[in-house]
Structure 1
């Protein structure tokens, strides 16, 4: 079987396109594709447990991505998880009584912060702290409590 340079060129282009597609997919999955620096402001939330929340995890309100987690640290005095979120500046009308919760996307998906707006007419400003938070639900802990409770009921 004879190979022509045209066939070799098409095979090379096909392989290069496949590698580019895999690279693009890896960027999408790892959430590294957001290289653009949008104007944003910072909100802070304190959680008893932030679960498997990571830096660059999405922050959403009503299912719309409005920002991402920029930093997670441990407060050495209260032992709470301090989560800093970069909120895109176009979403600067978030009520001051907004609730922040850590949820999981799907059964085994990544964790994200969901903001539930309140009814206040005052809006959150840069570096303000969300007062009302709900920590991540740890699946192992919930299963353990269920098993312990059902074992007590059988006695």
Structure 2
């Protein structure tokens, strides 16, 4: 095999490797599998979106039914307004609940839709009224530590104060 043929085969393998990396990057970056042109948009407002990002998945029953297309801050209500692009193949009742969920313990965040029971369906431009904000792990840890600290000091002061009030009641 001469030098030019070897160079050609090396070039082909390098090109194939780069193409495979490109496909992998699109898969990891959630850039495939959902066509935005066949979608309708709805909005939802959340107190806290945590680490939610544009292009995050919108799932219902574990199936990707859309993507987050835009996140904005509403300076009148001080909430985050999230615009969802939902596939037209899937229609949801107007009383659908939108919650920000996390894949695994520290995984990526996505929006989960829980269908309600209303006969009327969401249409393009509608607003999802019932939302549940993201659970921020740091807030949970601080609440846990604060409750433990408060619980520990209450236990040590409760017997002493009970004993004191009993003694005062006996003396009076």
Asked if Structure 1 and Structure 2 have the same fold, meaning a TM-score greater than 0.5 normalized by the shorter chain, the answer is: yes
Moved >4 Å (runs of 4+):
none
Q: Which residue of 2 aligns with 1:18?
A: 17
Q: Which residue of 1 aligns with 2:143?
A: 145
Write out per-residue CA displacement over residues 52-90 of structure 1, whole angstroms, 9 at most, x where no aligned residue.
111111111111111111111111111011111011111
**Larger RCO (CA under 8 A, 6+ residues apart):** 1
* TM-score between both structures, scaled by the size of structure 2: 0.82
1:6 Cα offset (Å): 3.0
Q: Secondary structure at the match of 1:7?
A: helix
Bigger helix share: 2
Find 1:125's aligned residue among 123, 139, 143: 123
Write out per-residue CA displacement over residues 95-114 of structure 1, whole angstroms, 9 at most, x where no aligned residue.
11110000111222211110
Q: Which residue of 2 aligns with 1:85?
A: 84
Q: Secondary structure at the match of 1:90?
A: coil
- Larger CA deviation: 7-16 vs 130-139: 7-16
* TM-score between both structures, scaled by the size of structure 1: 0.91
Q: Which residue of 1 aligns with 2:109?
A: 111
5+ unaligned residues in a row in structure 2: which ranges? 154-172
Q: Distance in 2 between the 1:4 and 1:128 partners?
A: 64
| Aligned pairs, number | 153
Find 2:132's aligned residue among 126, 134, 146: 134
Q: Distance in 2 between the 1:133 and 1:35 partners?
A: 24
Q: Distance in 1 between the 2:21 and 2:73 partners?
A: 36
Q: Which residue of 2 aligns with 1:102?
A: 100
Q: Distance in 2 between the 1:16 and 1:147 partners?
A: 54
5+ unaligned residues in a row in structure 1: which ranges? none
**Of the two, which has the highest radius of gyration?**
2
